[in-house]
Structure 1
Amino acid sequence: MPVRPNSHRLRQGRFSENGRTYFITSVIHERQPVFADWQAGRLLVAELRRAHEQGVAQSIAWVVMPDHFHWLMQLQRGSLGEVIGGVKARCAHAVNRKTRRHGPLWQTGYHDRAIRDGEDLEPFARYIINNPLRAGLVDNLGDYPLWDAYWL
């Protein structure tokens, strides 16, 4: 197992607050481009939508990139760790079953940034949904199937 010298910092001092908006990033184990297969990426999309439909998170914007995802969401119920952990665990199970892969799907932990009350969410959403363009995956955002935003 590779050494992750800073992964312990992702858990130190973490506090989650219901009603708070968070910018989440989580990365695939060893940055493997698992979600370059858009069908596998749709399995993560299904879990993001499930969290929204179950009322634990209100999705504002998200994008699934080949080796990571970004999610701008408002935490509704539970802790951030429970919500992200649940999404990642269910996604890993579904992806591993579909692709017949074994072992960890995700790197340990995730990065979160709590958004201040009153802070404009649109720049965060634009950053998220423009990821495929910046990465050169598509020339037009409409050609990329693994993103959504509340405003669009």
Structure 2
Amino acid sequence: MPRQARQSSQTGIYHIILRGINRQIIFEDDEDRKKMIRCLQLYKEKCQCGIYGYCLMDNHIHLLLKEGNDPIANFIKKVGVSYVAWYNHKYQRCGHLFQDRFKSETIDDEQYLLTVLRYIHQNPVKAGLAADLSKYPWSSYSEYTGDSTLVDADFIMGIFAGEQEKAVMYLKTYMAEQGEATCIEIDDSAKPTDKQAQLLIQEYVGANTLAELLVMDKQKRNEVLQKIKKLNGISTWQIARITGISQSVIARA
């Protein structure tokens, strides 16, 4: 079945979700996140596009973009190619890191623009990664409430108020409210089969066989298990069944 053509935004603004292939973790540490921020900054300038919001999660990225000289797809491709080349070199891996086709939705009015920005900023809180919006360092929320380096904050702040202090106050209040609109989301409801999970774990670990996990020293094995447990859709029970390692050992890792 042919792919459905993407809708074009009347405003040129899009909500983009770029996710790891097979739900893979794409940010292992803060160095990785900083590299992604640099990639976004570099190609924002080269493609002359606008960035109104972002949030880096463990296995996916939310972006709120204004199309520039290049189509949005070209911007995403350039950012992805640059980051993946760096990531693969760092972790001595090869192959794809992101899904081939990113998810997108059009933003055609100011109200939905603000709704999506709030949704993006609230992602870490809803995922249990932060107690409140200000405590998560890898979203654009801090750029709206402090110094802006990557996002084009003036456009959004101008919607709230002409005076900076009032705009920040109104923005904080709005971002803390619970929204009712449904934005595009990452669907992790589909659980992988044992065979799919086995191949995913084996590829992620970089081992020829999963039996290698059984003969690793305890510290290295636990480090590997910690990474495996971050793979969305795979339970400790499934990991235990596939690897032969007890659930209690996996849970303690």
More helix as a share of residues: 2
More strand as a share of residues: 1
Unaligned stretches of 5+ residues in structure 1: 1-5
Amino acid at match of 1:151: Y
- Following the alignment from structure 1 to structure 2, what is the Cα–Cα distance between the partners of residues 17 and 124? 14
**Runs of 4+ that moved beyond 6 A:** none
SS at match of 1:54: helix
Displacement, 1:90?
0.8
Q: 2:125 aligns with which of 115, 125, 133?
A: 133
Say which one has the larger Rg.
2
State the partner residue of 1:147. 139
Report the CA distance shift for 1:56/1:144 in structure 2 as closer, same or farther (over 3 A). Answer: same
Between the two proteins, the alignment pairs up a number of residues equal to 144
Q: TM-score, normalised by structure 2?
A: 0.52
Q: 1:98 aligns with which of 84, 90, 93?
A: 90
Displacement, 1:30?
1.3
1:27-77 C-alpha deviation (Å, 9 max, x unpaired): 101112231422212221211122222243200000010000000010111
C-alpha RMSD of the superposition: 2.2
Q: 1:70 aligns with which of 62, 73, 86?
A: 62
SS at match of 2:17: strand
1:103-150 C-alpha deviation (Å, 9 max, x unpaired): 211111101111114444111111111111111112133332211156
Amino acid at match of 1:106: F
Higher RCO by CA contacts (8 Å cutoff, separation 6 or greater)? 1
SS at match of 1:151: helix
State the partner residue of 1:29. 21
Q: TM-score, normalised by structure 1?
A: 0.82
Report the CA distance shift for 1:36/1:131 in structure 2 as closer, same or farther (over 3 A). Answer: farther
